[in-house]
Chains A and B, each alone.
Chain A
Amino acid sequence: MISQAARKYSNQEGPPRLITLLLWGTFGSRTPAERRFIIRSVIGIVVALGWTMIGFVTRFRPVPIMIDVEVLLPGLILTYWAWEWRKYVLTLDELSRHILFEAAAWSSVTASVIAFWLAGVAVIVRWPHYPKLFPKVAVSISLYLFVGLWATIHDFYLRRVSRRYL
């Protein structure tokens, strides 16, 4: 019988669930560590998107406080997420960690290449047209776009690498 401790750290009870791979980049094992990571990631996303929505509704008034917070928010949220990700990764066993890191390595290279191409094309076709009122906000939106791009590619690689080993 698998002990409680081993079950806790066993991250793959069956093949990875596609939906959790796509949404969270995890193995969908629903271990306590993974649940905690997913819940806290959701909180981070809600705070980031919520603040941005409130900002657009209120037209970032009072300026500059609203915009300053908006610009600092991606860094704050990503730092929080990275801390939670670190704790999650430390609960994974050898193979899972190997899969996660391999997927992350390929994702970093691929996402950087795509992002540079997209950035060049965006300048040529003059997209997106950010409101002139909020030029600073454009920076944080670009960061969110890159994270979204990276996460999508990471899901692809996580699924691909997982299928090779599991």
Chain B
Amino acid sequence: MKNELRVLRAKHDMTQAELADRLGVSRQTINAIETEKYDPSLPLAFRIAEVFGLTIEATFFPDKEDGHR
């Protein structure tokens, strides 16, 4: 799953640690999501979208290869 987290953080002038703090997760979790090593759970994905005032579809996008797994 792809995401715009890094861009959104930059737009909101927010560090990984600050975003992690707001979401109640570790900075490493945010880093793993940003680098697309880890797909967040649906509740966490909704919370991330909410922080940036967006919908989940505007924050996360399906990877073309996801459908072939």
Binding site for B on A (CB under 8 A): 1-3, 5-6, 9-12, 93-96, 98, 164-166
Q: B27: CB under 8 A from chain A?
A: yes
Kindly report which residue of chain B lies nearest to residue A14, judged by CB atoms: B28
26 A-B residue pairings within 8 Å (CB atoms): A1-B18, A1-B21, A2-B17, A2-B20, A2-B21, A6-B21, A10-B20, A10-B26, A11-B26, A12-B28, A93-B29, A94-B25, A94-B29, A94-B40, A94-B41, A95-B28, A95-B29, A95-B32, A95-B38, A96-B29, A164-B37, A165-B28, A165-B37, A165-B38, A166-B31, A166-B32
- Nearest-neighbour CB distance to chain A for B17, whole angstroms, equals 5
B-side contacts of A164, CB under 8 Å:
37
Q: B44: CB under 8 A from chain A?
A: yes
Kindly report which residue of chain A lies nearest to residue B35, judged by CB atoms: A165
- Nearest-neighbour CB distance to chain A for B6, whole angstroms, equals 17
Interface size class of B (residues with CB under 8 A): 10 to 19
Q: B24: CB under 8 A from chain A?
A: yes
Kindly report which residue of chain B lies nearest to residue A95, judged by CB atoms: B29
What is the CA–CA distance of A9 and B24 in the complex, to the nearest angstrom? 8
Beta-carbon contacts under 8 Å, B13-69 to A: 17-18, 20-21, 24-29, 31-32, 37-38, 40-41, 44
Tell which of A1, A12, A98 touches B38, judged by Cβ atoms closer than 8 Å: A98
Tell which of A5, A10, A94 touches B27, judged by Cβ atoms closer than 8 Å: A10
Q: What are the 4 A-B residue pairs with the smallest beta carbon separation, nearest first?
A: A95-B29, A10-B26, A93-B25, A12-B28
Contacts A2-B20, A95-B26, A166-B32 aside, 11 further interface pairs with beta carbons under 8 A come to A1-B18, A2-B21, A6-B21, A6-B24, A9-B24, A9-B26, A10-B27, A12-B28, A94-B25, A95-B32, A165-B32
A-side contacts of B32, CB under 8 Å:
95, 165-166
What is the CA–CA distance of A165 and B40 in the complex, to the nearest angstrom? 12
Kindly report which residue of chain B lies nearest to residue A6, judged by CB atoms: B21
What is the CA–CA distance of A12 and B29 in the complex, to the nearest angstrom? 9
- Nearest-neighbour CB distance to chain A for B46, whole angstroms, equals 13
B-side contacts of A3, CB under 8 Å:
21
